[in-house]
Structure 1
Amino acid sequence: IMENFLKDYINMLKVERNLARNSLDSYLRDLNQYHHYLESELHLKTIYNVTLGHIRSYIRCLTDRGLSANTIKRAVSSIRTYHNFLSAEGHVKDNPAQLIDTPKVARKLPEVLTIQEIDQILNIIPENAPMARRDLAIFEMMYSCGLRVTELCDFTTKDILWDSEMISVKGKGNKQRFVPIGPIVRENLKDYLNNERSGLAEKNPNVPEVFLSRNGRKLTRMMVWILLKKWTKTADITKKVSPHTLRHSFATHLLEGGADLRSVQEMLGHRDITTTQVYTHL
């Protein structure tokens, strides 16, 4: 019965809330672990018997395992919204999660690269290196357009609006936004498309995504992370850098340059402006 309820809940998130695959996977992983604890540790056979004490017991278990406050906060949020769904759908009479407190988490400011460090990474990629045009276009675009790594990987040739000097980006929940692309990004993108991608695409002609691997397949998030790690190390950058660092740097540099918060929010695709406001504290 527990599994059926979980399937219904995940399906609701997918259909009604239009959550991205990565978000659905996170909910599923959190709630599978929660179910496992209820069944194996507390010997509960049905969700009807879950009490506030059971949920608190699970949260203590997560704390005892040494998990971070952020991880526990996400788990609590998943459990609360899951029980809200069960209650709203009439599957259970009482909602034991209503009184659960969410752990307070200190807001960790994101790591940001300076403009000089961004230039170091971009300039260290040798022109004659294999896939150099692709790598340069990727990191120039991620920084100059503030893209999430998933948005970059899903980016297709149809999303480039050359005449408008814009790109169409499909963000979280398939929400579309338009972001301007400057002359340097356009130049690097054209160079890659004309001189490198055409050869890669011959191996897999039906792949619509812009950024391809050596075998002509769509680049994965992990591949982008590995490439960035490689060039960051080559550029002697000692900061802890991830693809999201480029997005953080984009937002910070825009605000430092005088851009208004609302414009940055729209370019980043943030639903809530308070998410964007974190960059004003850097």
Structure 2
Amino acid sequence: MNGYVASSWHEILGNFEHYLRFEKGASENTIAAYIHNVRQYVEFVQANGIAAFDAITEQHVTAFLHRLAQIGLSERSIARYLSALRQFHTFAIAYELASVNPTELLESPSVQRTLPVVLTVEEVTRLLEGVQTNTPHGIRDRTVLEVLYGCGLRVSELCGLRLSDIAFDQSLVRVRGKGAKERFVPIGEVALGWIHRYVHDAYPLLRSPHHHPTTLLLSNRGRSLNRMAVWLIVQSAARTAGLETHVTPHTLRHCFATHLVEAGADLRAVQEMLGHADISTTQIYTHLDRLYLREVHQRFHPRW
């Protein structure tokens, strides 16, 4: 199978997509991003007259990444491209399309991790309690916010929740995360209470006889709530609360993690709740905690 010609790149991309979906269990968002990135890579390879996997060298990969830098892509974006290329060449070796991996010795660009925007506990309280809950939509919106902050979920994870995922008696939520990986996240009494109220007082009124979604959270038309709808709910709540900070659904995930770490939660426990495969991803919240400690010390220590 080694030595595919350029006319077969389309077939290779199709097999790569199958590999990501069924063998790696990647999320649809990851699959779409990887295929997009690798398709551009393949176009670059073809433009350079390369017709077989084993003809691709480390220099070709480096040249492609350099081209991305030239057109203005950030180091973070280039690192994502390189991650996609690593998977692509790993797939090629696994399927005996190639015998060498030209990305094996390449280092990812040094990415300066940006500290996320985090609200104070008081600001989060204003955000949550500012929602009017005298309508089914208001009850749903409050439930969305409480679960985002109470469990630290990604938007896609929230939108995919089913009623059967809520273990009321154990105060746990089953979450389907990146790569179709499942985890159980604790949920507090307040968020559970809002889910209970939503299920009994709002869900029956939001349901539509024309749609039968399996998800817990429904849109105004009775369909499954989508990412954009959640974004709009958060934006509306932020405006109502008078928050000047740019608030997104992911902001509440950051708040969840940061407030736990600031209160003394074990980093590995927070890692597990967030669904991070690598603890270095979670360690960004310890940087926030150090800044917070310095602020407290500066404010209250007599020798500062």
TM tier relative to shorter chain: over 0.9
Q: Distance in 1 between matches of 2:236 and 2:74?
A: 28
Pick the aligned partner of 1:248 from 246, 250, 254. Answer: 254
4+ residue runs over 4 A deviation: none
Pick the aligned partner of 1:12 from 19, 29, 37. Answer: 19
C-alpha displacement of 1:70: 0.7
Pick the aligned partner of 1:104 from 110, 123, 130. Answer: 110
Q: Which residue of 2 aligns with 1:156?
A: 162
Q: Distance in 2 between matches of 1:131 and 1:137?
A: 10
Whether contact under 8 Å (1:204, 1:217) holds in the other structure is no
Q: Quick one: which amino acid aligns to residue 140 of structure 1? A: E
Answering whether residue 25 of structure 2 is matched by residue 26 of structure 1, we say no
Pick the aligned partner of 1:124 from 110, 125, 130. Answer: 130
Identity %: 38
The root-mean-square deviation of aligned C-alpha atoms, in Å, is 1.8
| Structure 1 segments unaligned to the other structure (5+ residues) | none
C-alpha displacement of 1:183: 1.8
Does the residue aligned with 2:125 lie in a helix, a strand or coil?
Answer: helix
Tell me the TM-score normalized by structure 1.
0.92
Q: Which residue of 1 aligns with 2:121?
A: 115
Pick the aligned partner of 1:38 from 22, 41, 45. Answer: 45
Does the residue aligned with 1:131 lie in a helix, a strand or coil?
Answer: helix
Q: Distance in 2 between matches of 1:203 and 1:139?
A: 27
Whether contact under 8 Å (2:171, 2:186) holds in the other structure is yes
Of 231-240 and 72-81, the range deviating more from structure 2: 231-240
Tell me the TM-score normalized by structure 2.
0.86
Aligned length: 281
C-alpha displacement of 1:53: 2.7
Q: Distance in 2 between matches of 1:33 and 1:223?
A: 31
Q: Which residue of 2 aligns with 1:213?
A: 219
Of 162-171 and 243-252, the range deviating more from structure 2: 162-171
Q: Distance in 2 between matches of 1:24 and 1:225?
A: 22
| Structure 2 segments unaligned to the other structure (5+ residues) | 1-7, 289-304
Q: Which residue of 1 aligns with 2:270?
A: 264
